[in-house]
Amino acid sequence: EAGVTQFPSHSVIEKGQTVTLRCDPISGHDNLYWYRRVMGKEIKFLLHFVKESKQDESGMPNNRFLAERTGGTYSTLKVQPAELEDSGVYFCASSQGDGRAAFFGQGTRLTVV
């Protein structure tokens, strides 16, 4: 069974550009989460999808971040325009039940220069 897959694994963009991160959850997992780890700090929750609906987006830092999950399958996280402080590792996770253990992807390392 395939795990959670994230694309790309690395991305280097200039300040002001747009970047889109993609996450393919484990098939059949209704719950999809985005997290971010900045500069070796804690892993911070960004948002939670249940199928295609945003269950909780309280962790989204500002309106430059847009997450979608059309059709309840894969999800994208767009940063537009990117700022230097957006650099970090973005993790995606999926699970079968809310609050239960989630399976994580390998993360996308985003560097904004």
Structure token pair of residue 97: 């039940």
- The end-to-end CA distance of the chain, in Å, is 37
Q: Report in angstroms how near the CB of residue 32 gets to another protein at its nearest.
A: 12
Q: 81 preceded by cis ω (within 30°)?
A: yes
Chain residues 21-40 in contact with another protein, contact rule CB under 8 A: 33, 35, 40
Q: Report in angstroms how near the CB of residue 73 gets to another protein at its nearest.
A: 19
What is the DSSP-derived secondary structure letter of residue 102?
A: -
Q: Which is nearer to another protein, 6 or 87 (CB)?
A: 6
Separation between Cα atoms, residue 61 and residue 30, nearest integer Å? 24
Q: Does 91 bind another protein (CB under 8 A)?
A: yes
Question: Where along the sequence are the contacts to another protein (CB under 8 A)?
Answer: 3-4, 33, 35, 40-45, 48, 56, 91, 93, 99-107
